[in-house]
Structure 1
Amino acid sequence: MRTGRSALAAVLGGTIALGALTAQPAQAADTGIRVSKVVVNNGKPMVVGTTETKYPTISYRVTWPAGYTISTATTDPFMYHGTTAAKAFEGPGGQLIQHDMIRCYEDGPRAANCEGELRIRPRENLDSAKDATTWKLAFVTFLEKKGQIVSWGYLNSSGTLQVKRAARATVNASPEPVAKNRTLTVTGKLTRADWARRTYSGYGNVSARLQFRKAGATAYTTVKTVRANSSGSLRTTVKATADGSWRWTFGQTATTGGATSAADYVDVK
């Protein structure tokens, strides 16, 4: 079993950078290493905000040429989008998501099953709305003998990860308390992660559902659907008939995760 950062991180001082390979073979080549059965984050999207580091899971099977072992045939996964694996890796301007830790368990003389995590740090890996897209998984592969890299290359795979912008919703119902059968105004705000500005910005022109849970009930019921304005603001009116909680909720899209606001409890007199 091999645990922790693999040979690439050790050779490159913990950072993927082609320039650190100057003492190694200059040209990428087919090392004969192969990967299969690739699964990234169990096939689910990863929703990312502006500060919290996310750790999508990864698993794959690796095989290598005769004459090498699990310790001398290395696969280092990374994710990229919008270009080729080589261009993303070598830069400049390549968008990369690196791995955090990979563990490989031998399964025969020239094969192993590997698992671990990728690491998405918003401030390092995401700087544009264009990063809310499908990222592709590739590998830098190494063959070593006597502590020296004798061959290295890029290896594409079938693995992908949909990265989405995290979203938020707020709610406010007023007046509180309200007289029975009088008008209750429910407002709210939809925002989503703006990776370029490192904050949450208004998420406009999106439909959200206004839901109500009567006091003592266990489930919410959708009362109506309202479309946010261009800045993400929501506003509607309803008739106050019973004590209970109000909230806004909306589902995920191709680029943005869904969100549900906290509940605002209103006492009806």
Structure 2
Amino acid sequence: MRIRATVAAVTGALALSAFAVPAAQAADPAPSFATGAAKVLQAAHAASGKTAFTAAAPTAGQPYALNVSFSNLKIGKAYKVGTTNHVAVPVSYTLTHGADVDITAADFDNGPFLYRGSVDTPDNILLGDDPAACTATSATTATCKGNVDIYPDLGDLMNADAGTWNVGALAIVLNGQDLVGFAKQGGLGTTLIQRYSKLTVDASPEPVKKGKTITVTGKLSRANWETNKYAGYSGQSVKLQFAKKGNSTYSTVKTIKTDGSGNLKTTVKASVDGTYRYAFAGTSSTPAVNAAGDFVDVK
């Protein structure tokens, strides 16, 4: 779920920006952890100029600093997001809390989040539908596992969001409607959120006489998160590779670049039976991908 900053952040180590819940998510019939966390973020910002987020005794209407911290966070290196598929990004971490915090209480929740930019002035935040599940390892520590849920077809991502995201975690406790405890910590790790890629190949004619020219075409495309369609990836270096019949190992024949529409086209001389494919090494915004091979019978 996406939460984009709508106003400038206030100062202070625990200061927050105000966030708006996307209409598509806000209308969901079943409230999610992400929706609840967004409301707490908004309340935290509203109270930020009123001595909020201090260790002092909680005051009604003012979110207070919750004695919770996070460490030992683990997340995968990269995740591919297409145009419509829901992607759940698993995250685990250690939660440490004060003796005054009951993590088994019904009104205590915590979970991971991904963000772009600064944790206090983020350009985008992604949260999970459900809170993390925690198992106590001592009186003041627990191991927690949760997901960050991404829905590209609900506007969670813009194309410019592809690349490196920072990882954090937050905890909230609802001591009644007007008394909210809150903890947020960023800088716990990074991961790549990438635009899912596709690559095709077609070698012709088939069959072909030995020594004749083979034309190999194809296309490199990737998810456009703003149109929810796939679009050509222009100006990218792609390798044409070949594997002789009976051999599964490919060798690079030449490297060419995609045109303005992501199309590929080159020629080679037919010599022996074998399979041609295109191979793209990937970028920080777009994952590596190999086309399914196209076999050519040489007469």
What TM-score bracket applies, with the shorter chain setting the length?
Answer: 0.7 to 0.9
Instruction: Report the TM-score, using the length of structure 2 for normalisation.
Output: 0.75
Checking the alignment, whether the CA contact within 8 Å between 2:240 and 2:254 is kept in structure 1 is yes
Residue 208 of structure 1 and its aligned partner are, at CA, apart by: 0.5
Residue 214 of structure 1 and its aligned partner are, at CA, apart by: 1.1
Checking the alignment, whether the CA contact within 8 Å between 1:30 and 1:154 is kept in structure 2 is no
Q: State the AA in 2 paired with 1:255.
A: S
Residue equivalent to 1:195: 225
Q: 2 CA distance for matches of 1:234 and 1:146?
A: 61
Does residue 241 of structure 1 match 2:271? yes
Residue 75 of structure 1 and its aligned partner are, at CA, apart by: 2.0
The 3-state SS of whatever aligns with 2:239 is: strand
Does residue 76 of structure 1 match 2:111? yes
The 3-state SS of whatever aligns with 1:55 is: strand
Q: 2 CA distance for matches of 1:259 and 1:108?
A: 45
Q: 1 CA distance for matches of 2:112 and 2:60?
A: 20
Q: State the AA in 2 paired with 1:96.
A: I
Does residue 134 of structure 1 match 2:167? no
Which of 71, 88, 98 is the matching residue for 1:36? 71
Instruction: Report the TM-score, using the length of structure 1 for normalisation.
Output: 0.83
Residue equivalent to 1:122: 152
Residue 223 of structure 1 and its aligned partner are, at CA, apart by: 0.9
**Percent identical across equivalent pairs?**
35
Equivalent pairs counted in the alignment come to 249
**Gaps in structure 2 of 5+ consecutive residues:** 1-29, 44-58
Which of 79, 83, 95 is the matching residue for 2:124? 95
Residue equivalent to 2:206: 176
Q: 2 CA distance for matches of 1:67 and 1:138?
A: 23
Q: 1 CA distance for matches of 2:220 and 2:180?
A: 54
Residue equivalent to 1:62: 95
Residue equivalent to 1:104: 134
CA RMSD of aligned residues (A): 2.5
Q: 2 CA distance for matches of 1:233 and 1:33?
A: 52
What do the CA deviations read for 1:59-93 (whole angstroms, capped 9, x no partner)? 100111112322135323222213545x65xxxxx
Checking the alignment, whether the CA contact within 8 Å between 1:95 and 1:125 is kept in structure 2 is no
Residue 107 of structure 1 and its aligned partner are, at CA, apart by: 0.6
Task: Give every structure 1 segment of 4 or more consecutive aligned residues whose post-TM-superposition deviation is greater than 4 Å.
Answer: 19-22, 144-150
Q: 1 CA distance for matches of 2:63 and 2:163?
A: 27
Does residue 18 of structure 1 match 2:71? no
Q: 2 CA distance for matches of 1:177 and 1:71?
A: 68
Checking the alignment, whether the CA contact within 8 Å between 1:182 and 1:239 is kept in structure 2 is yes
**Gaps in structure 1 of 5+ consecutive residues:** 1-11, 89-93
Does residue 166 of structure 1 match 2:196? yes
The 3-state SS of whatever aligns with 2:210 is: coil
The 3-state SS of whatever aligns with 1:18 is: helix
Q: 2 CA distance for matches of 1:218 and 1:133?
A: 32
